[in-house]
Structure 1
Amino acid sequence: MQRPDAAPIVLGYEWMVGATTVATLTAAKAFARIDSIRIGALVDDEEQGGPAVAEDFERLATVMPSVLARSDDAYVWRSRDAAGCEFRAIDGTAITASGFSSIDIAGLAAVTGGRDITFAIGTGISSSRRAGGAKSTEILIELTGIDAANAPFRSRHAVFHPGGAAPLTAIGVSMLIERLTGLDGNPATKPGLYFPYQVLDHAAYLARLEQDGGKLMTLPLA
């Protein structure tokens, strides 16, 4: 704030550093109006987070007993019990989840105008491991609103990466560094304060995701 023209700074605290917002905003293009967004992140219980991650989550649970959400066009704080929910994994398995104060909520509300937006995290067996494979990470996205014909419309999607949370996070971090510094062949990003989805090229991000074995999927409605 003292020197806003010094450098570009990205708030990378979005879930998986842009994976959630880039995928959600891509799926939202099919809508003329977004009314609600429900995001559920499934972390495989074999995913080995480092000590800093464990400490950070413990700190958040202690100092932030309430959970941020968007409800009826207003930001609200819900108790952790009230913020709990259930979502379905890629393979349809029901996952019990806890509400999470993700900065994705603020960015998605600003771009889509969605009146109701929630974010929850569930820990368990990922769909790939349940099918006999290796662990993976999943981000489930449910959108409701109005389509171009002014009819009620709903869609369901998932971001999937076969390597788990770490490599998916690394894609966002590496692409942001490329974009900020101009290593992607384009002019370096101008000084300012950004969310990842404002800096990343969405099509390029999804292409890199597929090159790395992941994908943005469209799922049947539950």
Structure 2
Amino acid sequence: MNQRFKYTLLLSSLPVQPAELFTSKLPVISRIQLDKRLAILDAEDTADLDRIEGLLHWSKMHEWDDATIINRGQSELNLIRSSFLRDIVSWRLELRTLLTALRRRHAGENITPSDIFYGFGDHLQFIRRNWQKPDFGLGNTLPWLKQANQLITENKPQTLDKLMLELNWKHYARLSLGHYFDFPAVALYVLRWDLINRWVSYDKDRALLRFNELISAGMADVSLEFEGKP
């Protein structure tokens, strides 16, 4: 079967996801049913989707130190064949790096420009040079940083969680334009499904517990949306 036809068939068979994340009460399809539909993917695309989800399920890396996480993560990232999808994952990992920096500073850690700070993305130098600034000097390009820092300072994990979820949801919505019946469209559907599932499984007490864990944990336990099974 022609790949383009297969993926058109696949995406046409999937229920339409809501326009707004926080209106969701349940995922429009179960993960079991979604995985059954994804079985139609070519082997190479299946491998790439597994890499994407593996990189974004940060809690699976808890037994590694920061340097190993970055090295292994970068190696896996480089194996993703699509530059479009690599950029999506890189964007998520960069946000996670920034959230890690906010948490570590809140916990009292001090970093100088000459210190090593492990992470993903192009902002590591800004983080080291502007450690004491609430937004690491990146507020003009990343306005969410100040708000996230304030929420961490005020111990508001639920609001921070929603901020991160919404940030991701809107980013995926922008990227989905122009991708309707190809593999990137499939990957974006799966990533949006994951956000919906996290939101509908959300538990305020679990979020507070996770927030407290983040304050004392290493980088491996930091996630963009307090990732981990509900």
Question: Do they superpose with TM above 0.5?
Answer: no
Normalized per residue, the structure richer in strand is 1
- TM-score, L = length of structure 2: 0.22
Normalized per residue, the structure richer in helix is 2
- TM-score, L = length of structure 1: 0.23
